[in-house]
Amino acid sequence: MANTYDLIQSYNLSSDSSGGVTFSNIPNVYTHLILNCSVKGNRLNTREDLSITINGNTGSYSNVRFYGASGGGRGSDGGTGWNYLGMASGATAASNIFGNSEIIFTNYTSNTLKNAISNSGVSASTSSGDVYQLGFGFLSAPTNLTAAISSININSINGTALNTGSTLYLYGLRNT
């Protein structure tokens, strides 16, 4: 098991970012990558999903999510062509409310094992309750990545913006 976290790159947005953020030039010296996000999006809702693009690949992703909400709502969804993992609070959530997610990229340098991505996320709102999410995603054939993950873009699912105050941290895990 990896026992050393190295900060690779971080963002603390001082202004809205309409293209999201891209972690680039990710070195291939780690076992796994972990992305921690505290994000507010621009969608006119109290919460929204985050989209992910790996190495510029906008091809076919698959995703399964299990979610729940305060007040008892719960369910699952997913399918091919969905590139979202993680949660953000939306524009109508209180100004100090951010969605939090952890996204794990296992074996990101492997040609055959790195396509699995897992995540957990929560988005809270003072007006409509909390939403929780656990998810698992992967790149579907024939668009599997055959190179190490070298860039990851995170944006709001509708692509409007990640808002001021959002923070994102990418860590590498290594065995020492």
Q: For residue 66, give the CATH number of its domain.
A: 2.60.120
What is the number of structural domains in the chain? 1
- How far out from the chain centre does Cα 25 lie? 18
How confident is the model at residue 78, as a pLDDT?
A: 55
Tell if the pTM clears 0.85, that is, is over it: no
90 by Cβ neighbours in 10 Å (0-12 / 13-18 / 19+) ranks as buried
How confident is the model at residue 144, as a pLDDT?
A: 55
How confident is the model at residue 6, as a pLDDT?
A: 94
User: Cβ distance 57 to 165 under 8 Å?
Assistant: no
Q: Which residues contact 74 (CB under 8 A, 6 or more apart)?
A: 66, 67, 68
Strand, coil or helix: what is 155?
Answer: strand
Can you give the pLDDT of all 176 residues of the chain as single tens digits?
547 889 999 999 998 888 889 999 999 999 889 999 988 887 766 667 788 888 887 665 666 666 665 555 555 555 555 566 677 777 777 778 788 888 888 888 876 655 666 666 656 655 555 555 555 565 554 455 667 888 998 888 776 788 889 999 999 998 76
DSSP label of 140: P
Q: Which residue range(s) make up the domain with 42?
A: 4-174
